[in-house]
Amino acid sequence: MTPRRRADTAERILDSAERLVQERGYNGFSYADVAAELGVTKASLHYHFPGKAELGEALLVRYTERFECALEAIDASTGDPAAKLAAYADLYGDVVRGRRMCLCGMLAAEVGTLPEPIRRAIVVFFDASEAWLERVLDEGRVDATLEFSGTARETARMLVGALEGAMLVARPYDDVERFDESANRLLAGLRAAS
Sign of CA dihedral 95, 100, 103, 106: positive
Fold of 53-188: Tetracycline Repressor; domain 2 (1.10.357)
In eight-state DSSP terms, residue 62 is H
Per-residue pLDDT, 194: 65
Instruction: Report whether 159 contacts 186 (CB < 8 A).
Output: yes
pTM for the model stands at 0.91
Burial class (CB in 10 A: 0-12, 13-18, 19+), 178: middle
State pLDDT tens for residues 100-123. 999 999 999 999 999 999 999 999
Give the pLDDT confidence of 26-85 residue by residue, as tens digits: 999 999 999 999 998 899 899 999 999 999 999 999 999 999 999 999 999 999 999 999
Q: Give the bridge partners for 146, in sequence order.
A: 191
* Mean pLDDT (whole number) for 162-186: 95
Q: How confident is the model at residue 7 (pLDDT cuts 50, 70, 90)?
A: low
d(CA 168, CA 162): 10
pLDDT above 90: percentage of residues in the chain: 91
Band (pLDDT 50/70/90 cuts) for residue 15 is: very high
Neighbours of 88 (CB within 10 A): 23
Q: Is 99 left (phi over 0), alpha (psi -120 to 50) or beta?
A: left
